């Protein structure tokens, strides 16, 4: 798994044992509250430098640069959020949480910071707390596909599969390429406790409902690789009514991949 840092945030890429979660830094359309002071040119240059340092995994150096930014613009909520992300990448969840909360104190409607707090809670397997943070973020920005996806994963970890399915479906209707593409802000959080075959089955179901047979087949293939055996669900669930007529589906069922050990 390789992390990718971009100006707007960070992304980890992965397929099977990793579930994407956004560590948002600053959404392009985010309108800061009056408490946020626009950074000056010096701060802009320092931010670019911190981005470069994070990309090279020099987190301590990035943290020091971001602290310099905050000295120059102490009322900028986005800088505390960025600092939180740098600590987050360093696996220093305590300091990450402190800075996300400072960002929210300066800007109480900072949806991205709430989302990031949810990600910390998720990492700590505090799924109920994660749900609360994600729901707060969505009250502020209900159109945030990635936060719907995050909320779905939190529900999935609680084995609330119907709720998870609803959130995943909302997220992928908003952005069908959400999982595959590298968004402006994003990350991956390891979720070893996930039932990967069930997760991939639900992803296949969503894409089947959307009429995207290629992606549905792709996720079913992954489900089989993770030990999925409940093929009767595919024939009994109306969501797959069109997919089962696809020639590629027939080939997959006739010759499913062996589970990966």
End-to-end CA distance of the chain: 19
Cα dihedral 6, 204, 259, 13 in deg (nearest 10): 0
Note the pLDDT tens digit of each residue in 148-180: 999 999 999 999 999 999 999 999 999 988 877
- 32-61 pLDDT per residue, tens: 433 444 445 588 999 999 999 988 999 999
pLDDT of residue 134: 97
Question: Which tens digit of pLDDT belongs to each residue from 217-242?
Answer: 999 999 999 999 999 999 999 999 99
Read off the tokens for 38.
Answer: 């626009």
What the chain holds in terms of domains, given with CATH numbers, is: 3-126+176-190 (1.25.40.10), 196-254 (no CATH)
- Between 155 and 18, the more confident residue is 155
Q: How many CA atoms lie within 13 A of 166 on its CB side?
A: 4
Per the CB < 8 A criterion, the answer to whether 13 and 188 are in contact is: yes
Structure tokens at 158: 């609680």
Residues 88-124 have pLDDT tens digits of: 999 999 999 999 999 999 999 999 999 999 999 999 9
Average pLDDT over residues 190-204: 76
pLDDT tens-digit readout, 68-80: 999 999 999 999 9
pLDDT digits (tens, 9 = 90+) for 185-194: 444 344 445 6
Which helix (H) or strand (E) element contains residue 234? Answer: helix 232-236
What residue ranges in the chain does DSSP mark as E strands?
3-6, 9-12, 18-21, 187-190
């Amino acid at each position: 798994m390789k992390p990718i840092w971009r100006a707007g945030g960070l992304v980890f890429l992965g397929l099977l044992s990793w579930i994407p979660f956004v560590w948002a830094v600053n959404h392009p359309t985010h309108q800061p509250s009056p408490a946020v002071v626009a950074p000056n040119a010096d701060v802009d240059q320092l931010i670019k430098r911190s981005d470069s340092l994070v990309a090279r995994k020099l987190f301590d150096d990035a943290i020091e640069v971001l602290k310099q930014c905050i000295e120059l613009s102490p009322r900028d909520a986005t800088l505390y959020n960025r600092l939180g992300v740098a600590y987050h990448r360093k696996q220093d969840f305590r300091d990450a949480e402190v800075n996300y909360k400072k960002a929210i104190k300066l800007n109480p409607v900072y949806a991205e910071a709430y989302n990031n707090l949810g990600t910390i809670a998720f990492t700590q397997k505090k799924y109920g707390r994660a749900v609360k943070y994600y729901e707060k973020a969505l009250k502020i920005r209900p159109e945030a596909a990635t936060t719907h996806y995050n909320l779905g994963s939190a529900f999935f970890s609680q084995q609330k599969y119907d709720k998870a399915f609803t959130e995943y479906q909302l997220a992928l209707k908003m952005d069908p390429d959400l999982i595959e593409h590298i968004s402006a802000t994003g990350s991956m959080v390891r979720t070893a406790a996930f039932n990967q075959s069930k997760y991939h089955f639900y992803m296949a179901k969503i894409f089947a409902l959307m009429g995207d047979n290629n992606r549905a087949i792709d996720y079913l293939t992954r489900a089989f690789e993770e030990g999925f055996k409940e093929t009767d669900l595919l024939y009994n669930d109306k969501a797959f009514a069109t997919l089962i007529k696809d020639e590629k589906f027939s080939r997959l069922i006739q010759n499913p991949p062996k589970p990966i050990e």
